[in-house]
Structure 1
Amino acid sequence: MALSVSIIADSKFPVDRKRLRAVLASAGGTLGIPGEANVSVAVVGTRKMAQLHERYLKKEGPTDVLAFPQQDSLGGQFGFVSPHDFPLELGDIVVCYPLALLQAAEQGVFVDDRIEALALHGLGNLLGEDE
Structure 2
Amino acid sequence: MFGLRSEHTREAYRRDLQTFHAWLGAVRGHTDLAVEVGDIEVYARHLREDRGEKRKTVARRLSTLSALYKRLMVTGHSERNPADPALVSRGDTRTADTPPPGCRAPTSNPSSRPPMNATRRATWPTRAPPC
Q: Would the TM-score normalized by the shorter structure come out above 0.5?
A: no
Greater RCO between the two (CA within 8 Å, min separation 6)? Answer: 1
Larger radius of gyration: 2
- Scaled by the length of structure 1, what TM-score is found? 0.29
- Scaled by the length of structure 2, what TM-score is found? 0.29
